[in-house]
A and B are shown apart, each in its own frame.
Chain A
Amino acid sequence: SQKIEQNSEALNIQEGKTATLTCNYTNYSPAYLQWYRQDPGRGPVFLLLIRENEKEKRKERLKVTFDTTLKQSLFHITASQPADSATYLCVRVNAGNNRKLIWGLGTSLAVNP
């Protein structure tokens, strides 16, 4: 079956450092991987997506990679700030008519001042 696995342990880092979150998928490569941010008691907010044929995508302080050999996506936040503290969700989107979104559990990030 297709799964998305994210590190269930919370990540604590110091302000200014780079946060790196991991997303592993099983089975065949999805057409896309998406990353969302979710704050407590709120809905997820879309951040970035990366296509299967892309190795890396950047947006401001965010960077996402897609490694089809390792079946893994890494999500980086550079120069992290306390305001970046949230849960980050990885989602796989398959190609074709069955473009279901399969969600990971998310990884909680805490950036300490």
Chain B
Amino acid sequence: ETGVTQTPRHLVMGMTNKKSLKCEQHLGHNAMYWYKQSAKKPLELMFVYNFKEQTENNSVPSRFSPECPNSSHLFLHLHTLQPEDSALYLCASSQDPPGGHGANVLTFGAGSRLTVL
């Protein structure tokens, strides 16, 4: 496989469930990102990992818990979510780490559509 792969593509969960989103990149990039995309809103950056170290947490509620075991894999653990958390969750990777030189071009996965009942 090439590019950025996200699973599952669709997820429906109740507010008391615990689930995880998975992202894997096959590009050799060293930075990975979680974004949230809701209707009528621009993409919202949630977390950034650079060489598997978290470099940014954009005031995300603790019910979202990221995990980056290595530069190729990124998880987003979900627990006790709210209906307003329903959105498209996008994983991305980039070659030039934040803070370095370059244009920070992102390669995105297809996204995980989350519905919280």
Chain A residues with a Cβ under 8 A of chain B: 4, 31-32, 34, 41-46, 49, 51, 89, 93, 97, 99-106
Contact = CB atoms under 8 A, between A and B. Distances in A.
Contacts of A93: 103-104
A59 to B, nearest CB: 13
* Those 5 A-B pairs whose CB atoms lie nearest each other, nearest first: A43-B108, A103-B42, A103-B43, A32-B103, A97-B99
B110 A42 contact: yes
Interface of B: 4, 6, 40-43, 45, 88, 90, 92, 98-99, 103-111, 113
Given A93-B104, A99-B104, A43 B92 contact: yes
B27 to A, nearest CB: 12
A87 B109 CA distance: 16
A55 to B, nearest CB: 17
A99 B103 CA distance: 8
B103 A41 contact: no
A90 to B, nearest CB: 10
Contacts of A105: 40-42
A34 B43 CA distance: 14
Contacts of A103: 42-43
